[in-house]
């Protein structure tokens, strides 16, 4: 029995991450249509009924779009903090909701987890650190800047999934309205490639780990630009123990396309994602 992590979708058009250990599973975020999610799960040989809990990082639509629909259809408890529950409003009424205060350790079957604060413009957005069978994945997407709390949440994990949302030059040239651009690049918006590299250089200075760059913008980033930007910062910092993968920006269409990390092969990302 070991930890397996599969990215079902990543980016502003939807996020969903499947964590499995033996017959147990957790889903982190559910920001894609329910029918799409059901198909992607089945491609992975997983049934929605196996999902022990749906962990919500925050209430934004690209993370929570069909959370309530999934929970209702399959009687899956939703785990989130009080701020996110309140921000979800009546959507969660009548559903089993377990409140997980930020920083508190929880056990769900073979999984142990705790959350940490992320600087982002939602009610109480969090990153997550989940361990099972001796392996740990840490997740921080949707953050406009990083803090020592974020770094501590990620440090020492076998797989770090972190946002590399946009490239600064491409963002400057993008035809976004000024207010939207300011929101994205602000300290409670989204992390750019250089900030992501700086965070990883800080976190991975002494501990080798696998990294997945996540939540890439469709308009202002590409997998190649993100990887090159992060690698440049790591190289300047003299950090060599990071093995980078980049998550595709759209939902994968089939089984071969879903990036999967297995604990038994840690430090070896299973697929070449570029």
Where do contacts with Zn ion occur on this chain (CB under 5 A)?
60, 62, 142
Integer Cα distance of 173 and 171 in angstroms: 5
Helical spans, DSSP H, in 134-222: 148-154, 168-173, 178-185, 193-203
In angstroms, give the least distance from the CB of 13 to Zn ion.
9
| Residues pairing with 51 in the sheet | 25
Both structure tokens of 162: 């972190």
In angstroms, give the least distance from the CB of 256 to Zn ion.
25
Integer Cα distance of 220 and 41 in angstroms: 29
SS3 assignment, position 67:
helix
Integer Cα distance of 99 and 86 in angstroms: 11
The b/e string for 74-100 (b: 16+ C-beta within 10 A; e otherwise) is: eebebbbbebbbebbeebbeebebeeb
In angstroms, give the least distance from the CB of 249 to Zn ion.
12
Is 142 in contact with 163 (CB distance < 8 Å)? yes
In angstroms, give the least distance from the CB of 267 to Zn ion.
28
Which residue's CB atom is positioned nearest to Zn ion? Answer: 60
Give residue 173's Cα distance to chain centre: 27
Q: Which residue number, 51 or 126, has a Cβ lying nearer to Zn ion?
A: 126
In angstroms, give the least distance from the CB of 221 to Zn ion.
13
What are the percentages of helix, strand and coil residues in the chain, rounded to 5? 30, 25, 40
In angstroms, give the least distance from the CB of 57 to Zn ion.
8
In angstroms, give the least distance from the CB of 125 to Zn ion.
7
Both structure tokens of 110: 């073979």
Q: Which residue number, 142 or 158, has a Cβ lying nearer to Zn ion?
A: 142
Both structure tokens of 83: 């701020």
Integer Cα distance of 251 and 206 in angstroms: 33
């Amino acid at each position: 029995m070991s930890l397996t992590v599969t990215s079902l979708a990543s980016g502003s058009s939807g996020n969903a991450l499947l964590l499995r250990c033996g017959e147990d599973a957790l889903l982190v975020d559910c920001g894609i249509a329910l029918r799409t999610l059901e198909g992607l799960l089945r491609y992975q040989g997983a049934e929605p009924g196996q999902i022990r809990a749906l962990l919500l990082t925050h209430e934004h639509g690209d993370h929570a779009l069909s959370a309530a629909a999934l929970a209702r259809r399959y009687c899956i408890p939703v785990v989130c903090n009080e701020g996110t529950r309140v921000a979800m409003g009546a959507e969660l009424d009548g559903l089993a909701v377990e409140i997980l205060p930020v920083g508190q350790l929880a056990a769900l079957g073979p999984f142990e987890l705790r959350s940490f604060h992320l600087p982002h413009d939602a009610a109480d957005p969090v990153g997550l650190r989940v361990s099972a069978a001796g392996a740990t994945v840490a997740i921080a997407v949707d953050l406009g800047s990083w803090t020592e709390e974020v770094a501590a949440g990620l440090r020492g994990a076998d797989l770090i999934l972190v946002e590399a949302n946009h490239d600064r030059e491409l963002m400057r040239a993008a035809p976004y309205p000024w207010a939207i651009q300011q929101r994205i690049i602000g300290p409670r918006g989204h992390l750019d490639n250089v900030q992501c590299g700086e965070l990883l250089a800080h976190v991975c200075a002494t501990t080798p780990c696998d990294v997945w760059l996540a939540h890439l913008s469709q308009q202002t980033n590409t997998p190649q630009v993100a990887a090159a930007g992060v690698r440049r910062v790591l190289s300047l910092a003299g950090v060599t123990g990071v093995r980078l993968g980049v998550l595709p920006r759209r939902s994968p269409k089939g089984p071969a396309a879903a990036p999967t990390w297995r604990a038994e092969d840690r430090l070896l990302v299973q697929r070449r994602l570029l």
